Structure 1
Amino acid sequence: MSAAAGTVTTLNVAPGSVVRVRDEDWLVTGVDQTADGPLITVQGLSELVRDTTAMFYDSLDTIVPFDPSATTVKADASSEYRRARLWLESTLRKTAIPLDDDSLTVADAALADPLEYQRIAVRKALDTSNLRPRVLLADAVGLGKTLEIGMILSELVRRGRGDRILIVTPRHVLEQMQHEMWSRFALPFIRLDSQGIQRIRQKLPATRNAFAFYKRVIISIDTLKSEKYIQHLRKQRWDAVVIDESHNITNSSAQNNRLARILAPNTEALILASATPHNGKAESFAELIRLLEPTAVAPDGKVIEDEVKRLVVRRHRNSPEVAKVVGGAWAPRKEPVNRLVQASPVEDAIATELSDTWLHPSSGSAPGASNSLFPWTLAKAFLSSPAALTATVTERLKRIKPASGHTNPEKEALERLLTLSTTAVSGTSAKYDALLDELHRIGVAKGTPERAVIFAERVPTLHWLRDRLRKDLKMSADQVQVLHGGLTDVEQMAIIESFKQASSDIRVLVTGDVASEGVNLHLQCHELIHFDIPWSLIRIEQRNGRIDRYGQRHSPQITSLLLEPTSGHFSGDVRVLTKLIEKEHEAHSALGDAASLMGKYDVEAEEKAIRSVLAGDVALETVVHDADQVASQGTVAGLFARLNKSASASATPSAGIVQTGPQAGSTGLYPDDLSFLRDALTESYASPAHALPGGVGWSEHPTHSLVELTPPPDLARRLEDLPQSYLSERKVTERFMLAVTKARGKETLARALQDEGSTWPEAHYLGALHPVLDWAADRALASLDRDSVFAVRGPVDHPTVLLVGTLTNRRGQMVASSFASVEFPNPTNTDFALQTQFSSSAEMLASVGLHERRSNHGAVAGVDALTALVAPAVRAAQVEMEQLFAAASDSAAQRVDQWSHRLSTWEDEADALIQRSDLKVRRVSVEKERELVEQMAPSQRLVRPLVVLVPLDHAVESNEGTN
């Protein structure tokens, strides 16, 4: 059996262990189980490899773990035991949080204000009853799924499960996602948009796998599904994969689904996110659930409802647990305004021509009757704008071949329309005049801060509006911008990011539906105008969600402009579209899911159904249901309604963030991250402030909660993986400014989004996962010999050894951890020791007074005698912790057995069915599932000493020169 299939390795190491490889000493920072055996990631300790990172396979190199029992004790003569505190803090920071710890350790410390319903989503993803973090974040538009993604990824990183992460998004939100991950969570991702790919081509050979070179990547699904990347992906394993807008991967015959099926079994954590997570078809929803957990869908294709409840998070704006906490951070939407506009004479003439000749002809058939959809294409174009109608007619005329000596009724009818539409383009448009009135009502003008987003479907409409608005509002090209899918990804992102900033010149954003998915337009804008109405509830909901989302401080106003001609038929059509706007608002209030009202879950299918209504073939009520009807249906939509009710019923009120120390998730040694960083720099560069030697400039601005750092070469190299636009705009490898409080971090981020020329904050928040802190911890760990721990004085009665015990699985992940103190009342009799167990490092350190700084009156004497206490302390802790580890191992093994039983049950059911080809494909996924499950079994126990404490009156070493 291969290592990937579950062979137990004899390599007893864990993050924080010390090993000897190739005659050099290394600190283990990560352990991964691969098909080729254990792979360890290390940081150099000995002189030749100091500040070097490397990776070694147990199958290729001789890896010799250091025996913790052989640890020697060294005295610390530094001021306030700075060296010991740094080494201890760094060791604890590098010790992963166990998998069975469901507390939030770093998510709440990010640069955001997580709400309780978002914490519930994170806890669900980390649920210890699951072997792997797998979740579908299906919250409705605007509830902060990106924030939930960042919180989950942060917790995975702190648990040692987030080293390699891939985020897959639509291309127009690449920069937005990258910005959020770095600015709020200090998680840097390499963005592989068109420019990023070009940079890689310059840096890497064409045959090199970019995913092996970069650990954390964000890329668009359109780029990733190319055959070149597909081949690279087959060879890569990930700790976590995020697929945003995952409703785009449910079609089992499409390339997007093929990509997802490659990624899903090759990652441990899988986060899918979509506000529209199903298309109403049971098989499509089953495909999404199957990606998360193959056995959550029975072999016959039926979704197991209890499994869906375990895997899916679904809430909307008016869900009780959401509504009670969003408060003023999400102002409630105003009643929508549907403004009926009396058509101008030329618009009225066009409507009459379309109705009498194309839509409802007295002859019974329209010109060119072979294409029954084209008349509705003309109608839709006209309802968008005269410019869109002109473009549609012109394109149709180009495809009509002249027939010599014969008249062509279709051509003649099109030419009549073209004459009318051309006149309307340059003449008076009542709907355009109404748009100008709305912009004046809002207060949009050259010298005011008010803004508006105008949505329209057709690109000719966008350009027509842009040109007329610039002229009539007397605005520059920068002030009225147009956004559509024909722009490059870089151009799209530049416009979107600019619109978020208060300092931006943009006052009117005229956009197509490219901006209806995943784009945040609410930061500086709360007015949205539908210049035309999509014939789809999904599109209407997506559009409205651009400004109606969490973080919107002003009540969003949705305004729809509806042209009302005198033609009776056309006026009826307008009334149907008005009803769509009203129905979307009803669903927003009751279900949070407008798509469920029609049950089509596809824009084209909804448009087809609305055409049938407009054609008089079917009543609107039979196509668009009420919210109450949807909730009672035994469909996927009904299931989601039950999910929402279940989530609301099970949500418990929170008393807020509970902090047991100065900083949530801290070890208790340092009151904050700045204190740790300051000590680390002082120790490494031998000067307390201002101009630290060795190429590090350091200055503090306490009144502004800011510090400045000039990164030394080894830190600058690490920073190369930060977002490239951030590096170029903020030049942080030359001067890195850090905000050291959350309040200052929020302020600098808000300023960047409002007043500055860059959306990247000038001062980056020094959060718990910041790479500068990681670098500082590595330097501190490398400062002590591999076989040593420090001795310090503390408020103890007898010599005491503090230890940490860890239980890891076959993937090198932390299953459980425990902390202990072993006290020796009679150091000459090491068989007699008093032992105390602790559940956390903070609890242990507080029990012996290490949570407080104390003066160091000189290096501790008698370190040889103290060294003799280490081995018996390790043995005593091993015996005492064995019971804990046995219980944790049994619990983990029980979950593995339960998972294995589910897999076996699924396979037995599959064997009983006819061997369809799709079942064979699913069986491969289940077999890979079994491999992953087997790797989760606990395998390694390790107890390591952390520090030795002696009483406060312990003697001073006579010769301190060695320290």
Structure 2
Amino acid sequence: MTTATAHFQPGNLVRARGREWVVQADSSFDEATTLLRLRPLGGSDEDTIALIPELEFTPVEPATFPWPDATQPGNHAAALLMRDALRLKLRAGGGPFRSFGNIAVEPRAYQLVPLLMALRLNTVRLLIADDVGIGKTIEAGLIVRELMDRGEITRFAVLCPPHLVEQWQSELLSRFNLQAVALTSASASRVERELPHGVSLFDHYPIVVVSLDYIKSERHREHFLSIAPECIIVDEAHTCASSGAVKQLRFELLQRLAKDEARHLLLLTATPHSGDETAFYNLLSLLNPEFAQLQNRTSAQDPLRVLLARHFVQRRRKDIVEWQAQTQDLRGFARRMKTEQTYKLTGDWGAFFDNVQTYCREMAEAIETNEQGQATGQARLIWYATLALLRCVASSPAAAVKALTTRLEGKTGTALEADGEDLLEDDRLHDGEADDMAGTDLEPAGQLSPQLQDAQRLQALIADAKRLSGKSGDPKLANLIAHLDGLVKEGFHPVVFCRYVATAHYVADELRKHFKQATVLSVTGELSPEERRDRVENMEDADTRILVATDCLSEGINLQHLFTAVVHYDLAWNPTRHEQREGRVDRFGQQAPEVRCTMLYGQDNPVDGFVLNVILRKGEAIQKELGVLVPMPEDKTRINQAMVKAALMKRVSAESRQMGLGFEEAEEILAPLQAQWTDALEKAKANRTVFAQRAIRPEEVMPEWQKQQQALGTQDDVQRFVQSACARLNAPLEKARRQSFKLPTVHLPEALRQRLDDEGLVKEGDTKGLLIDFAELHRSHPLVTVLADHLIETALQGETSITARCAATETDAVQVVTTVYLLRLRHQLSYVRRKEPYQMMAEETVAVAVQGRTNPVWLSDEGVAQLLQSTPTSNLPRELITREIQQSLDFAQANQEYLGQLAKERAQALLEDHRRVREAARDVGQYSVSPCLPVDVIGVYVLLPELL
């Protein structure tokens, strides 16, 4: 390395184009050309430039950081603000986790396990199969953010189902400060048109969230393969591995992506093994083709299984709870309290249900009297109408009216025979497969063609359904209102899940009549994903809120920040649906100590009874035994047959059911499925013993996270900084709603308002101000970054009214003259991974103090931070302030050797931190850390003892 090149290493200071810069880690040095990436000394990352030293008119030269000017002192409050701004501005922090300065989330210790696993792999290939709500998105985001901040990847793509695209975009931006573009069937043409000529997609948009629907076609698939980045995240990965033509195409795509042995691949799923052995081992083969051989190898000591444990992590909710209890981690999950509410089909509503059931049974019997009835499409049409009508009647009067008034069109003659089976697989009858929960929430058609029905009876049924709408005629609705009364009085915010659009609107309308002081909104599949998200977020200000939704919200939009209870107004025919509903509320980030979950069902309704006793109870038992839900095997034909048998059973009293009457005939039809389900449970239990992740202990490295958080600034630091900065900028925060504050941006300096406008936080001419919720305002939020950049820049330019680089204060907090030195340490961090060398810059802010000047005693513990927060007791003459600051500057100049030694000790401590994390993760690679000298003296603050 030449002497000139040595001056340009990451972290060094240089002078170019008339100002000082810090050399960034993504500078490049080769034999032909040196390309410097430079950040202004007091500027933000957005002001970074690139230049080639050989092409500059004025040579690029080494520089030193300017020391404070004793003739421009400020006050003590401005000194503390300077310290906070400097800490909160740091992005390339000194700790072993490079990403922690760039994330807006505080990870739990268990969420570090996949990150640690990734650090020990040359090429990251992981299957993260944690339970619903544990935080797989957080875990994957930590890994890709870390790889990017280490310089090991520059691009990545997320492949996910269409309904998760917006959620991924939002999570990457809000939690990890990663700007992603969506590539969907609707947006792809626009995105490609906006690309500059000759520039590829990933060169222009390094981070892309890709809808799996978009790459269905061969043309899109081949195009994506030709430009695919070096890192891929696949969400709901099980949807790419099971049977079916579309899923087979997805699997082939992933196989081709995985063929590049250098490509990082993160597979995310809460249901890796749903009883489909082939699909499970297909998933494993993407990590390593050899893992497919494990399907026929059962020994837990098999070396291939031991190898797989390095690539596969699966934790149940109960695993996390048990671990947190052992480590006394108090930030656990909410308690999920389950209960059931029942109602009876009494009075006119019971008679109406019986009339619909009789109507369906008589139509079925009429068809079966025909010798060919069972073989014709007409029979299947009757079964469809039976399921449609009784399911909608069990849902609500509104859904019943919709089904009774919607005719099955175009199903006559030979078309019935050809289409009958397809008709019974209509998604409107079912609740989505285990790997596809985003089904339609429209009501199925229940009105048959005229030749197959009695028009007069049909009209009478429709009239009855309309007449019975409302609390007085609908016992199910009355029960819901009574239950919600209790929840609301206890302070809960419930989400009521319905199966159909008509039911959701009906329930919401009726609840508004009863809960007049509450905000009651409905969200259904009629709205676009963006409209659904906006409607949910608009409920934030409500003191009492009740959301009524269909299962369009059971995936894709997190509800844990606004809601604390779930009511299953309609029982799902798929246990996975119930878990998905509850998992929207009871998940990582839920602040309430308890989440209430309620199943509402008719105790004398044969449809509800069959679903509850034969399907849901079985799912609950499996989940209780294993700790995670095993999806019910798919077999729509058997399920339809069993459901029809159950639906046509006559209603019986509770006393009769206790005498042994049940669903034996329907259960017999489902017996093969129940056997498959039990078999899937046993296989999943066997796999748990192999894949439980115990080798990595997150509590061993959690102190590194906590240490780094203290170095970078805590949430309390953020709040103090923002409140103090805004007050000193003549725009003090105003109390708004609940925990929120309003920043009157109109009073801020013009330059600062413009930067907030550039970040999209305020708009030109906007006088409403900016709402701030400190529970959500993390250190990497654009507001915090812009404020810190502005204050540091004004301080370096010599403006002392807001922040100060030097001050002298009289206080009773000290007994002798004490000087606090605010230092910025810059380190060069080098390591080797996959035989590739990497160089990075690490920065940290350190406050040290010295007591006395003749016999100085250096302090560098937590007490130094407290000195900066001491309270001044009186004002000092300007001449005295300048003299005291200058003496302290001279002292520091005379003790440069001590400051240099401090920097070396900090570099060694940083190296030890990296080694400790590396050992916990069995990280691969070699590390070295060296300080960039001389140390930057940012601030000098003299504390004088109070004169007696």
TM-score range normalised by the length of the shorter chain: 0.5 to 0.7
| In structure 2, C-alpha distance between the alignment counterparts of 1:268 and 1:95, rounded to whole Å | 27
Residues 354 and 589 of structure 1, relative CA distance in 2, 3 Å threshold: farther
Aligned to 2:21: 26
* Paired position in structure 2 for 1:120: 110
How many angstroms apart in 1 are the aligned matches of 2:844 and 2:233? 32
Q: Distance in 1 between matches of 2:99 and 2:672?
A: 48
Q: Give the alignment of 1:783-932 within 5 angstroms.
A: 804-809=826-831, 814=840, 846=864, 857-860=883-886
User: Structure 1 pair 232/247, CA: closer, same or farther in 2 (3 Å)?
Assistant: closer
CA contact (8 A) 2:504 2:548 kept: no
Q: 1:87 to 1:176 in 2, by over 3 A?
A: same
* SS at structure 2 position matched to 1:79: coil
The answer to whether the 8 A contact 2:123-2:261 is kept is no
C-alpha separation between the residues in 1 aligned to 2:262 and 2:622?
36
- Aligned AA for 2:361? T
Quick one: which amino acid aligns to residue 415 of structure 1?
L
Query: How far has the Cα of 1:583 moved from its partner?
Result: 2.0
Equivalent residue, structure 1, for 2:717: 672
The structural deviation recorded for 1:59 is: 11
Aligned to 1:515: 554
Q: 1:527, 1:558 within 8 Å by CA — same for their partners in 2?
A: yes
2:650 corresponds to which residue?
Answer: none
Would the aligned equivalents of 1:243 and 1:273 in 2 still touch at CA under 8 Å? yes
C-alpha distance 523-579 of structure 1, shift in aligned 2 (>3 A) = farther
How far residue 425 of structure 1 moved from its aligned partner, in angstroms, is 3.5
Q: TM-score, normalised by structure 1?
A: 0.63
Q: CA distance change for structure 1 residues 311 and 816 in 2, over 3 Å: closer, same or farther? A: farther
- Equivalent of 1:583 in 609, 612, 618: 618
- Contact conserved, 1:821 with 1:844, CA < 8 A, in 2? no
What displacement does 1:586 show? Answer: 2.4
SS in 1 for 2:710: coil
**Structure 1 counterpart of 2:673, from 600, 623, 627:** 623
| 1:385 corresponds to 2:392 | yes
Give the letter for the 2:480 counterpart.
L
Query: What pairs up with 1:117-156 in 2 under 5 angstroms?
Result: 118-126=108-116, 128-130=119-121, 136-145=127-136
Aligned pairs for 1:714-725 within 5 A: 715-716=752-753, 719=756
**Residue 44 to residue 120, structure 1, CA distance change in 2 (3 Å):** same
- Contact 1:815 1:888 (8 Å CA) reproduced: no
Where does 1:552-563 land on structure 2 (aligned, <5 Å)? 556-561=596-601
Q: How far did residue 53 of structure 1 move?
A: 1.9
The 8 Å contact of residues 452 and 529 in structure 1, kept in 2 or not, is answered as no
* Cα distance per residue 1:672-708 (max 9 Å; x no partner): 3466568888xxxxxx8354xxxxx556889999573
Q: Structure 1 residues 193, 130: CA separation in 2 closer, same or farther (over 3 Å shift)?
A: closer
Q: Residues 165, 235 of structure 1: CA spacing in aligned structure 2 closer, same or farther, 3 A cutoff?
A: closer
Distance 1:735-1:814 versus aligned 2 partners, 3 A rule = same
Q: Is residue 77 of structure 2 the alignment partner of residue 90 of structure 1?
A: no
Whichever residue aligns with residue 665 of structure 1, its letter is Q
Contact map agreement 1:544 1:558 (CA 8 A) in 2:
no
Does residue 276 of structure 2 align to residue 276 of structure 1? no
Q: 1:527 to 1:544 in 2, by over 3 A?
A: closer
Match for residue 476 of structure 2? 435
SS in 2 for 1:769: coil
Establish whether residue 352 from structure 1 lines up as the match of residue 366 from structure 2.
Answer: no
- RMSD over equivalenced CA pairs, Å: 6.8
Query: Distance in 1 between the 2:354 and 2:140 partners?
Result: 53
Is residue 170–residue 245 contact of structure 1 (8 Å, CA) maintained in 2?
A: yes
Residue 658 of structure 2 is matched in structure 1 by none
Alpha-carbon offset, residue 347 of structure 1? 1.5
The answer as to whether partners of 1:527 and 1:557 remain within 8 angstroms in 2 is yes
Q: Deviation of residue 441 (structure 1)?
A: 2.6
Hey, what does 1:415 align to over in structure 2? Answer: 452
- Distance change in 2, residues 1:698/1:520 (3 Å): closer
**Matching residue within 771, 779, 786 for 1:775:** 786
Aligned position for 1:5: none
Alpha-carbon distance between aligned partners in 2 of 1:531 and 1:798, rounded to the nearest angstrom: 65
Q: Is the 8 A contact 1:795 1:952 kept in 2?
A: no
1:561 is paired with a residue whose SS is strand
Q: Counterpart of 1:316?
A: 317
Distance 1:34 1:538 in 2: 54
Range moving further from structure 2, 517-526 or 447-456: 447-456
Once the two structures are TM-superposed, the CA of residue 241 in structure 1 deviates from its matched residue by: 6.7
The match for 1:610 is: 639
- Deviation string for 1:164-198 (max 9, x for gaps)? 78666655566666667777x58475675999969
Cα distance in 1 between the residues matched to 2:904 and 2:520: 72
Check whether the contact 2:14–2:62 (CA below 8 A) recurs between aligned residues: no
CA contact (8 A) 1:200 1:210 kept: no
Q: Is the 8 A contact 1:73 1:948 kept in 2?
A: yes
Report the Cα offset of residue 315 of structure 1.
1.6
- Deviation (angstroms), 1:593: 2.8
Q: How much has 1:484 moved relative to structure 2?
A: 4.0
Q: Report the count of equivalent residues.
A: 818
Cα deviation for residue 873 of structure 1 reads: 8.1
How does the TM-score come out when normalised to structure 2? 0.64
Question: 2:50 maps to which residue?
Answer: 56
- Measured in 2, the distance between the counterparts of 1:194 and 1:542 equals 24
The answer for the alignment partner of 2:580 in structure 1 is 542
Given that 1:171 and 1:222 are in contact with CA atoms closer than 8 Å, whether structure 2 keeps it comes out as: yes
Deviates most, 370-379 or 539-548: 370-379
CA distance in 2, matches of 1:39, 1:357: 84
> Contact (CA 8 Å) 1:174, 1:191: kept in 2 or not?
no
Identity of aligned residues (%): 18
Q: Which sits farther off after the overlay, 486-495 or 392-401? A: 392-401
**Cα shift at 1:452:** 6.4
Counterparts of 1:71 and 1:328, CA distance in 2: 46
Query: Could you say what secondary structure the match of 1:520 adopts?
Result: coil
User: Is the contact between residue 707 and residue 738 of structure 1 (CA under 8 Å) also seen in structure 2?
Assistant: yes
Q: 1:638 — aligned with what?
A: 686
Q: CA deviation at 1:520?
A: 2.4
Verify the 8 A CA contact 1:167 1:217 in the aligned structure 2. yes
Distance 1:656 1:680 in 2: 31
1:528 partner amino acid: V
CA offsets 1:140-165 (integer angstroms, 9 cap, x no match): 33445556667778888987899978
Is the partner of 2:783 in helix, strand or coil? helix
Q: 1:670 to 1:258 in 2, by over 3 A?
A: closer
Q: Quote the residue 1:917 is aligned against.
A: none
Distance in 2 of aligned mates of 1:482 and 1:14: 58
| 1:579 CA drift (Å) | 2.0
CA contact (8 A) 1:456 1:531 kept: yes
Measured after TM superposition, the shift of residue 375 of structure 1 is: 5.7
Give the one of 513, 521, 531 matched to 1:491.
531
SS at match of 1:528: strand
Aligned positions of 1:175-190 closer than 5 A: 185=175, 187=177, 189=179
What displacement does 1:517 show? 5.7
Deviations 1:834-882 (A, max 9, x none): 9x9xxxx976995998898997645537989987986x88997999899
Deviation, 1:588, is: 3.9
Q: 1:247 Cα shift?
A: 3.6
Shift of residue 385, structure 1, vs aligned partner: 1.6
- The alpha-carbon deviation at position 199 of structure 1 amounts to 14
Amino acid at match of 1:332: R
Residue in 1 aligned with 2:567?
Answer: 528
1:398 to 401, 407, 410: 410
My pick for the range that moved more, 88-97 or 275-284, is 88-97
Matches within 5 A, 1:686-725: 689-691=728-730, 697=731, 708=743, 710=745, 715-716=752-753, 719=756
- Distance verdict in 2 for CA 1:166–1:377, change over 3 Å: same
Q: Tell me the equivalent position of 2:338.
A: 334
Conservation of the 8 A alpha-carbon contact between 2:102 and 2:177: no
Distance 1:512 1:701 in 2: 37
Structure 1 residues 80 and 220: alpha-carbon distance in aligned structure 2, compared to 1, 3 A threshold: farther
Mapped partners of 2:59, 2:532: distance in 1: 53
Candidates 939, 945, 955, aligned match of 2:934:
945
Residue identity in the other structure for 1:43: R
- Partner SS, residue 474 of structure 2: helix
Give the drift of 1:816. 8.2
- What SS does the corresponding residue of 1:314 show, helix, strand or coil? coil
Rounded Cα–Cα distance in structure 1 between residues aligned with 2:235 and 2:253: 16
